[in-house]
Amino acid sequence: MIRLALRTFAASLIIGTVAAAMAPVARGQEAAAAPAAAPSTTTAGSSETAPGEKKFTLVSEQLGDTKFWLPSTIVVEQGDKVTLNLKNEVPGSAVTHGFELPAYKISEIVTRGEKPKAVHFTADKTGVFPYYCQLHGAHIGGQIVVEPKRGDER
């Protein structure tokens, strides 16, 4: 058990370092015309279709023996209507991967090779909310950070 915990911790550090080098956080963008880009940990991984609506693509990936969701941190504002497009790109014989966001009562099974699964919710409470694979406990999840709504800056 300790060996598994240390291995998961080491993988978290490696993945965190790689992700931080690429860019640490996905944030909803203000440009309505920006298309959703390939999954990444940059702001290019999200788009805003209208004020208060944020879209992100989350992809389950594998690095070595460790499976995780990218981007690992998503930042939105309280009140935003959020769409998460979930894709499973983990290779191997198992074709399903889970996605669970308990704070918003979201639990999905994502199948590799199928079209991305879209989930929708309104970020109605501030805080940091973890997401993870409910099927495979040792996999590394991520978090959605819901910040307080900024005042009108006009």
Domains of the chain (ranges, CATH numbers): 2-147 (2.60.40.420)
Higher local confidence (pLDDT), 3 or 31: 3
Q: Which of 54-68, 89-103, 113-127 reaches the highest mean pLDDT?
A: 113-127
Which residue spans within the chain are E strands per DSSP? 26-27, 46-47, 53-63, 66-70, 73-77, 81-88, 96-101, 106-111, 117-122, 127-131, 142-147
Kindly state the average pLDDT of the residues 25-40: 39
**How many alpha carbons lie under 13 Å from residue 71 in its C-beta half-sphere?**
28
Residues 130, 142: contact at Cβ < 8 Å? yes
Q: Which of 44-48, 81-85, 94-98, 108-112 reaches the highest mean pLDDT?
A: 81-85
Burial 39-48 (b: 16+ CB within 10 A, else e): bbbbbbbbbb
Kindly state the average pLDDT of the residues 3-12: 43
Q: Which of 59-68, 109-118, 127-136 is predicted least confidently? A: 59-68
Backbone angles phi, psi at 72, to 5 degrees: -90, -15
Residues 48, 29: contact at Cβ < 8 Å? yes
Task: Tell me: pLDDT of 132 over 50.
Answer: yes
**Residue 135: predicted pLDDT:** 86
